[in-house]
Every structure is written in C-alpha cells, then in structure tokens.
Amino acid sequence: MKTTIKKAKACKESWELFNLAGDLSQALSDSEAGLFKAELERDWDSITHYVGMVAHWKYLHNYIYDMASELEEFEHECQLSAEIDAEMMGDRV
C-alpha cells in the first residue's frame, strides 16, 4: 500500500493517476471475483483473505482516483487562467 501511494504521489499529471487507478480497479475486480468464488465454495479462510484484499484495493483505488480528480481540476483551472492571461496580454501588445 505504501509503495503504491508513493508511486501516486510521484505522478505529475492527472492522466498518470487515472492510469494507476485503472490498474487498481482491475486488481479490485480480480479480488471481488475471488471472493465470489470463495463464497460459492463456502471456503471461510479464502473468504477472509479476499475480504481483506477487496478492502485493500478499494481503499487504494478510491484514494488515488480522488487524487487524480483533484489534480485534473487543478490542471483545468491552470489552463483557464493561462488562457485568460493570454487574452489580457494580447490587448497590451
């Protein structure tokens, strides 16, 4: 978990974070499938394992997806600000 969060914090652009969130989404789906199979087999040790894995991947996915969304919003605001500045400076030249 710590390694994944460090990797996310090293990302400079929102698309990198969204890609990482996509990878985590796949891991979450795989864990949910394992949980479903364990439930069908009534294998309590596996159920316990997969419940922990689902919680792990879900937390990481949500955390990194939220980071990506916030960064995307910031990037959009910076782009708008740059466009406004360019328009205002264009009048002065």
For 62, the token pair is: 């949500």
For the chain, the domains span 14-92
Residue 92 has φ and ψ, to the nearest 5°, of -85, -20
Q: For the whole prediction, is pTM greater than 0.95?
A: no
Closest by CA to 31, choosing from 13, 12, 52, is 52
**pLDDT tens-digit profile, the chain (93 residues):** 999 999 999 999 999 999 999 999 999 999 999 999 999 999 999 999 999 999 999 999 999 999 999 999 999 998 888 888 777 777 665
